Chain A
Amino acid sequence: MSGCESFRDLLAPLLEGELDEHEAARVRSHLGACAECRELAQALEQVVDAVAPLDHLQPPVGLAADLGSSPCRRWLGLLFRAVDRELDEANLNRLLAHLDACESCRRAWNDLSSIHQAGEALVPPPHLLQRCLAARRAPRQRRVLQRRTATAAAYVLAALVSLAVANPVTMARGRRAADSVQRLAATVSEGVGEAASDGKGELRVMLWRVWQWTNRQASVVRDALHSDDSPDDQQQGG
């Protein structure tokens, strides 16, 4: 029905008794003619009717006395905040003034401070962080076979890389071997790195470790070659 919106806006004011007699009569007349608005008004009245008894709601017996007394319990709340260093200056001053006057709160303050200091003195052992991180990384459901295969594959790779890269440290003391060893180191390192990035789960972690180890070995080879080459260069230059 046209004009319903303007009447609907007046339904709540009608319930609140905010409309004058003329306007209230006009809304009621519309409700008599429009079934949809009437149903809406009835629903609104249901709400008001349902909620009305809450006007009589009374707080539980004893709550007022409980809240009004026991000042030290309130101060204890501030004490907790003070120990946690979360208290603003005004409340800290209030608390300090109270502590001067109240022995039981002062005792509570001393106890809380001691507990807090003891707590702060507890430092986690250095290895705990790594263990926690490792626990976080570990998959929840391990498949034993897959894990063993991954471990074995990683060790085989490590051994191969060791043979290919680490042993040449003693072999490649000449300038001619340097380039081929570096190329070999780079190739193996790159290959393992790709496998590590494509792998999944634990295999990926193991390959990643091998790849890092390979890089370190390659650096050792390069450093060794560089230190061996330098005196020759100096001799040739001299």
Chain B
Amino acid sequence: MQDLEATVERCRQGDEDAWAALVSTTLRPLYRLCATYAPSAAEAEELTQEVYFKVWENLHHYRPGSNFMAWTWRVARNLTIDAYRRSRREREAAWLDPEILDQLPGSDDPHQSAERHQRLRLVASGLGQLDEDLAELVLMRDFAGMSYDEMAEALELPLGTVKSRLNRARLELATAVRRRLQIHVVPPASGMLEGGVS
């Protein structure tokens, strides 16, 4: 964390090597964030570039010592929200794009690949039934892998509020998925009832 802060500080001084280091350190979570919100793999890449440009342009506004990733999310919020609205409207998502799915482990097995796609379609359909702000919480936590602290800081909400809203969002999503499961036959996941989930 301190390394990241030092790198950010060097970037603020105009150090190009530090910028390359910052991109290298943060690209994976930021790309994942963009792939969570964008409607396609190509747009996820474009969105990532836009986000980095905006971060670079606004570096002088960053308050040293605060959470850089949460700040980045806040800076990128308008871009990601626009992308997500387009994604909802078009009923598409980068994480449903074969270009991305084919890179994930197990994608060389056609059966596993098809089943994964079916499950993700099911989730996408459930997310589409949630209010945008609730769906966003699930996206941040479960898709983009953000921590509760990052979410709280990014959304400028108390930690407890984030947790309770996320809980509500997940339950609504599960209810929507459950309704769908009663229509579509998808093999149920196993583990929680047997205590296998940790």
Which A residues contact B (CB, under 8 angstroms)? 8-9, 11-15, 17, 24, 28, 31-32, 38-51, 53-60, 63-64, 66-69, 71, 74, 77-78, 90-91, 94, 97
Task: Report the stretch among B47-55, B71-79, B83-91, B151-159 that lies at the interface.
Answer: B47-55
Shortest beta-carbon distance, A14 to chain B, in Å? 7
Known: A12-B170, A43-B174, A77-B57. A67 touches B49 (CB 8 A): yes
A9 to B53, CA, bound (A): 40
Indicate if B45 sits at the interface (CB-CB under 8 A): yes
B95 touches A54 (CB 8 A): yes
A169 to B138, CA, bound (A): 81
Known: A44-B174, A48-B142, A57-B32. A67 touches B48 (CB 8 A): yes
A12 touches B166 (CB 8 A): yes
Indicate if B188 sits at the interface (CB-CB under 8 A): yes
B193 touches A38 (CB 8 A): yes
Known: A50-B122, A57-B31, A63-B27. A11 touches B95 (CB 8 A): no
A49 touches B16 (CB 8 A): no
B175 touches A40 (CB 8 A): yes
Chain B contact-residue range equals 35 or more
A53 touches B116 (CB 8 A): yes
Residues of A contacting B: mostly: helix
List of B residues within 8 angstroms of A74 by Cβ: 53, 56
List of A residues within 8 angstroms of B106 by Cβ: 53
Which of B145, B166, B178, B188 lies in contact with A55, CB distance below 8 A? B145
Known: A17-B197, A54-B32, A74-B56. A46 touches B181 (CB 8 A): yes
B192 touches A64 (CB 8 A): no
A71 to B15, CA, bound (A): 11
Among residues of A, the one whose C-beta sits closest to the C-beta of B101 is A53
Known: A31-B193, A47-B123. A57 touches B35 (CB 8 A): yes
Indicate if B63 sits at the interface (CB-CB under 8 A): no
Indicate if B6 sits at the interface (CB-CB under 8 A): no
A40 touches B174 (CB 8 A): yes
B104 touches A54 (CB 8 A): yes
A38 to B106, CA, bound (A): 28
A47 to B125, CA, bound (A): 11
A9 to B14, CA, bound (A): 48
B177 touches A43 (CB 8 A): yes
Q: When A and B form their complex, which 5 residue pairs have the shortest distance between CB atoms, in order from nearest?
A: A68-B20, A50-B119, A43-B178, A59-B31, A44-B174
A40 touches B171 (CB 8 A): yes
Shortest beta-carbon distance, B20 to chain A, in Å? 3
List of A residues within 8 angstroms of B32 by Cβ: 54, 57
Among residues of B, the one whose C-beta sits closest to the C-beta of A60 is B45
Shortest beta-carbon distance, A5 to chain B, in Å? 10
B162-193, CB < 8 A from A: 166-167, 170-171, 173-175, 177-178, 181, 186, 188-193
B23 touches A57 (CB 8 A): no
Indicate if B68 sits at the interface (CB-CB under 8 A): no
A59 touches B119 (CB 8 A): no
A71 to B197, CA, bound (A): 46
Indicate if B28 sits at the interface (CB-CB under 8 A): yes
A24 to B196, CA, bound (A): 11
Shortest beta-carbon distance, B8 to chain A, in Å? 14
Interface centre among A40, A48, A60 (most CB of B within 10 A): A60
Among residues of A, the one whose C-beta sits closest to the C-beta of B103 is A58
List of A residues within 8 angstroms of B160 by Cβ: none
A50 touches B198 (CB 8 A): no
Among residues of A, the one whose C-beta sits closest to the C-beta of B94 is A57
What are 30 inter-chain pairs, A to B, with CB distance below 8 A?
A11-B170, A11-B174, A15-B192, A17-B198, A28-B195, A31-B192, A39-B178, A39-B181, A42-B181, A42-B188, A43-B174, A44-B174, A45-B191, A45-B192, A46-B181, A46-B186, A46-B188, A50-B116, A50-B123, A53-B104, A53-B105, A54-B95, A55-B145, A58-B103, A63-B48, A64-B23, A67-B23, A67-B27, A67-B52, A71-B16
